[in-house]
Structures are given as C-alpha cells and as structure tokens.
Structure 1
Amino acid sequence: MPVASVARRLGVAPATLRTWDRRYGLGPSHHVGGRHRRYGPSDIGRLELMQQALLRGTSTAEAARYALERMPKSPEPPPQATVLSSPEHYAPILCAEAEEPDPGRSRLARRLSTAALALDSRAVQRTLAEVIGQSGVLSAWAGVIQPVLAALGDRWRGSGTSAGAEVEYLLSDAVLAALIRATPVLDEPRNHRPVLLSCVPEERDGLALYALAAELACRGVGTQLFATPLPAEVLAVAVRRGAPAAVVLWSRRSGAADPRLFSRVTRGRQRSRLFACGPGWDAAGLPPKVELLGDLTAAVDRVEYVLLGSRD
C-alpha cells in the first residue's frame, strides 16, 4: 500500500508516517516500480503495534521500540492485491487492551477521536456521555478517554508544530465537563471527614483527579478537590482547615513529584492517612507513612477500604 493509503487506514498524516520511517525505521520494506515505496502486511502490523502503544500513553520513541521488538523487520515478498483489499485487516485499534480489543470500546474510541479531530463539540460531548453511561467513570477513563487523549496529544507534539493542539484542548475541556456532570453531590457522605485530593504544585494535568473524585462520590465517599495546583503553603492551610481523613497527592510527571511535600502539608497534630497517586511518584523515595496507590481503580478501592472498610 502507498503511504497515503496507510495514513488513511491508521488515521494519521502521511508526514507522520514519513517521520516515523526516518526517525525510527518504521517504514515500507520494498519498492515497487522504481522509487515508489509500498507498505506490506508486516510493515502495517508494526505501525498498528506502535499505535496501540501510543494509545497506552507511551512516548513515540518507546512505542516505536515496542513495535520493532514485537515484530522485528525482515525482508518480505510484495503483498498480494487480494490481501491488501481487506480494510478490516489494517483498521487502527483504538482501545486500551491491545491484545484482546473490546469492540465496544474500540468503536467509541474511534467516534471520540473522529469527533475531536473534526472539532465537533456536540459529538464529543454525546460520545463522552455514552461511554461514561455504559461503562462507568473509571472504566471509561482507562479504556477510552485517557488513551484517546494521550494519542491525540502525542500526535500533535510529534509533528513539531502546534497544529493539532486545539484538538487536545477541546477534548480536555469536554472531558472535564463530562466528569463533573458524572460526579453526584452527596447530601450525606459515608465518611465523616473528607478525602482531600490535590495535584502537587508543579503538576498541570489534573483530569485524572476529577475521575477519581467522581468514582469516590459514586461510592458515597465525600472529597475536597483541588485539581488546580496550589502552592505548598496554601495546600498546607487547606489540609489544616479541612481536617481530611486522607490526603491524596497526584503527580503525573516525575519532575513534579517531591516527597518532602507530605511533611510540609501535614505538620503538627494533623492525623490524616497519606497517599501518593500517579505515575510521577517513586515508591523508593516516599516517606514511610505515605502509601503509594496503583491505578485509579486500585486507588479508589484502597481509599474506600482504609476509610470505611469492606463494602460487604
């Protein structure tokens, strides 16, 4: 298949494929008719593996390395036209479980991505409402929303220009609104003292905290949410005044995660369970009294259990 056809199959720009070929060696294996280069089945298979890795949130370089490790390059005969005529064989997989894709999630992820790329706000909002209504907040976040956000963000950042940034911003704002709508207002929370959820001061991506707060609220657990990063001294005041039962500090980037923040915000006689959440934290550097949480589902389960015990 020529580069333009492969780009359409995968939903990327032809220039992106050329960049992946030049930088990472994920290009066509053979030439047809002189200088015309064609992608064969293995070439496209490697690109699909790369796309799956990108949708899990890995960097472009890591995704390329993953694809080449899973499917090393080797000479292959030119593909037969009968094989190339099947569009389903080359359809991009937009779901978190790349090994066993969920058809429902894949369909909704395609719809969400297509609507965002078209800057169709209403279609984006309808799709988000549908996926959250069908799967629940955390399943929708992990299986559709976060992978699509990561893939669209990586797409424009990898282009070397700001073209496409508007797509990520539009989708992020729509996701924020959808997560807020999915968060019930609790008249009588099951916990007497709230769970304080906050980004660390240098963290700029707090969407995951909205998903965490929404799921906790769905389970009857009340929270105080500070997704906008606060200075350490302001966060310390919030902890002191709010007297939370637990403090969960979110960090997506390792450069923003400072373990000393826990001692700064919990000085004095304040008794709160302390949790670090997000891929930015390193378990080895955390103080002994701070517990590192896993993914968002594990985080919700653990916080609920620590505060309220088993639901059984």
Structure 2
Amino acid sequence: MASDGSPKPPLRGSEPPGAYITSGALARRLGISPTTLRSWDQRYSLGPAQRRRGHHRRWSPQDVAMVEDMCSLTASGVSPAEAARSAKKRAHAAPQGEGTPPASARSTTAALTSGKAAGRDSSGLPLGAVRAECRGLARAALRLESVAIQEQLNTFVQEHGVVAAWEELMMPTLHAVGRKWESSGDRYVEVEHLLSWHVSTALRNAQLLLGPGETRKASPPVLLACVPGEQHTLPLEAVHAALLQRGRPVRMLGAAVPAEALIAAVLRTGPAAVVLWSQTRSLASTPLALHLLGMGWGVNGARQQAALVLAGPGWRGGRIEAAAQPQGLREAIALLASESSGLSE
C-alpha cells in the first residue's frame, strides 16, 4: 500500500512474476532505501540467496518474501536482530516457490509483536510504556520510510478508530520524537516533520479509512481554530477527524487564525461550539476567549451563542467561567459530539 493509502504500484519494468528483481526495484516496493537492504545483508545475512555475475544482486521471489517479512516485523515493533532471525527461519521453512509463511510462522509474529514495550526503545527514543506498534512506528520514522509510516498509521486507524490511534499511537510516538529532538540539538527535526506529515495525512484520510459517519442534517457545526500565532494543528485535526466520524458537522480553520477572522467566521456559520486551541501559555488569549463568550447573533429575543471549548496545554493554570476545558481528546469529543449546543462539565 502506498503512503496515501492506495495499493502499491507493481514493480517497474517488464519482468514476469517469479523473475529475479534488482535491489532498487525491491527497495521501491518496500518503501525503504537500498542502503537499508545492504545494511540488513551485512548485519544479518539477509540478502539474496544467489549472487549473479558482476556482483549485481538479484532477488528471487523467496528472497523478496523474506525481506517483506523482515519489514513487517520491524514495523510491528520487533527488534531488527530478532526480526531477521524469524524471517530467515520462515524462509527456510516455507515450501520452495511459495512466499507466504505457514500458519505456525504467522502465529510467531503475533507472539513477537504482542504486549507492551517499556523503557527506551532500541532506537534510543524515550518511548516509555507504550504499545508495541509505537516502537515499530518510531523505527520507521527514524529510517524516514514513508510507506511503512503511513501503512502503520492507516492500519491502526482502521482497526482501532481515531481516538485510540491518537491517544495510543500517534501522540506517544510524536512526544518521544520531540523529546529526542530537544535533547539532541538540531538532530531528528526531519524525523518529527516527516512523522507529523503522515499523522496529519492519516487523520485527514480517516473518513476514507473508516467510512463516513452518519451526517446530522440541520445541525449547527463545531468551529475549530488555533489562537493567533499558534501553529500546532495536529490535536485539532484529531478532533476534526473524530467528530466527522461521529457525523458532527465541523469547520476547520487551522493554524494561527487572526481574531478578526475567527469572529467573522462565528457570525457567518452560527456554530454550536467553538474550539480554541493553544499549545503554549503565552499565546492563550483570555480577552479573545471572553469576547467569544459574549458574542451573540440573531434577532432580539432569539439571540444565539456558541459554547466555548478551550483546548490545549496553553489554557492550563487558568480558569474562564462558562468555558469548558476538557482534559484530552476523549473528553473533548464526548462534549462536542452531543446534539445540544450547551456543554456541561
């Protein structure tokens, strides 16, 4: 499957099924670099069984199946050394000419990838006690392997939903990469950027991955916006995806929305609620929040107001009466998914 969720394209070239393929073609299929293939060969003897003349490596269907198995295991959180041992064992056990491991070997995958991982991952990322999928995602991110990153994210969203994907996979891995970056100078910023891009892609594609929720007709929308100057949008994108899945009309304004633009959007859309996200305390604007709470529209005697939800760590430590301040995505969705416009604590 490609990084956008579509099936992988066939290998380039006109080689018939069963033909030997080049390292470059195999790397393109797996979404890894030829350097990774060479490294696995040098470290774990995970290379083609036969070497052709001129030292050009050509991979048989059995070789390809073995490396695909290696990628699947490492992406699921198994250490490279253990994954290589398992992949080679399966390759030797599989009947000649077949690429799919037997059922006994597939059960080994579940045993290797199940359970929780504690402490520091072998990559050095401070993951702590997390799901095994976080380890696989972190390794794929450190290798900058876009296809593996997107496949893991898409699969988790499909199997567990948006809220669980955000809380149990996306956020822990993003936090670990961020801590690694902060403690390593300017290193790993490219890892965080790539991972953030693919997390955003998975969240925006959640409706395609899960199917559209049942839309509630004639229901006022929820308006999502970052405070002026705030560039962190991923948490809001998670709210957006989760609300869409629940059939709640929603409008996403995104990063750093000027106060005047936000006020105009409220008057134009008449939302049931406004979610105002702030990552940092210095950007959390109490005057803007109070202004939104005091806004109304409609004819006299039938004035309407939007409920205000202050989300993000920037609002912690302060309290604005009449505004809801949920702790985490799950609580925010419970408030916002309600049909009524009023939000209760």
- TM-score class, shorter: 0.5 to 0.7
Q: 1:118 to 1:89 in 2, by over 3 A?
A: closer
Residues 200, 229 of structure 1: 8 Å contact kept? yes
> Counterpart in 2 of 1:225?
252
Tell whether 2:273 aligns with 1:273: no
Residues 156, 163 of structure 1: 8 Å contact kept? yes
Which of 175, 178, 181 is the aligned partner of 2:199? 175
> Counterpart in 2 of 1:14?
none
Following superposition, the deviation at residue 308 of structure 1 comes to: 7.3
Q: Where do 1:1-312 residues align within 5 Å?
A: 92=121, 98=129, 106-160=131-185, 162-183=186-207, 188-189=215-216, 192-265=219-292, 268-270=295-297, 271-282=305-316, 284-286=318-320, 288-305=321-338, 307=340
Question: RMSD of aligned C-alpha atoms?
Answer: 2.7
- The one-character-per-residue Cα deviations of 1:90-144 (angstroms, maximum 9, x if unpaired) are 763989883xx5xxxx221111111110010001000101111121111111111
C-alpha separation between the residues in 1 aligned to 2:287 and 2:315?
12
One-letter amino acid of the structure 1 residue matched with residue 309 of structure 2: F
> Counterpart in 2 of 1:31?
none
- The one-character-per-residue Cα deviations of 1:245-281 (angstroms, maximum 9, x if unpaired) are 1111111211111121123345542311111111211
Residues 219, 339 of structure 2: 8 Å contact kept? no
C-alpha separation between the residues in 1 aligned to 2:275 and 2:184?
35
C-alpha separation between the residues in 2 aligned to 1:269 and 1:291?
18
Segments of structure 1 that go 5 or more residues without pairing to the other structure are: 1-87
Following superposition, the deviation at residue 225 of structure 1 comes to: 0.8
SS in 2 for 1:205: coil
Following superposition, the deviation at residue 150 of structure 1 comes to: 1.1
Residues 276, 292 of structure 1: 8 Å contact kept? yes
Following superposition, the deviation at residue 163 of structure 1 comes to: 2.1
Residues 231, 255 of structure 2: 8 Å contact kept? yes
TM-score (norm 1): 0.62
Segments of structure 2 that go 5 or more residues without pairing to the other structure are: 1-116, 298-304
C-alpha separation between the residues in 1 aligned to 2:162 and 2:258?
29
Residues 223, 251 of structure 2: 8 Å contact kept? yes
Q: 1:241 to 1:173 in 2, by over 3 A?
A: same
SS in 1 for 2:230: coil
Residues 119, 126 of structure 2: 8 Å contact kept? no
C-alpha separation between the residues in 1 aligned to 2:271 and 2:324?
16
C-alpha separation between the residues in 2 aligned to 1:260 and 1:89?
43
One-letter amino acid of the structure 2 residue matched with residue 107 of structure 1: A
Q: 1:191 to 1:168 in 2, by over 3 A?
A: farther
Q: 1:172 to 1:89 in 2, by over 3 A?
A: closer
Following superposition, the deviation at residue 186 of structure 1 comes to: 6.2
One-letter amino acid of the structure 2 residue matched with residue 159 of structure 1: S
Residues 203, 252 of structure 1: 8 Å contact kept? yes
Residues 273, 341 of structure 2: 8 Å contact kept? no
Following superposition, the deviation at residue 185 of structure 1 comes to: 5.5
Residues 156, 165 of structure 2: 8 Å contact kept? yes
Q: 1:121 to 1:273 in 2, by over 3 A?
A: same
C-alpha separation between the residues in 2 aligned to 1:97 and 1:296?
21
- The one-character-per-residue Cα deviations of 1:15-44 (angstroms, maximum 9, x if unpaired) are xxxxxxxxxxxxxxxxxxxxxxxxxxxxxx
SS in 1 for 2:166: helix
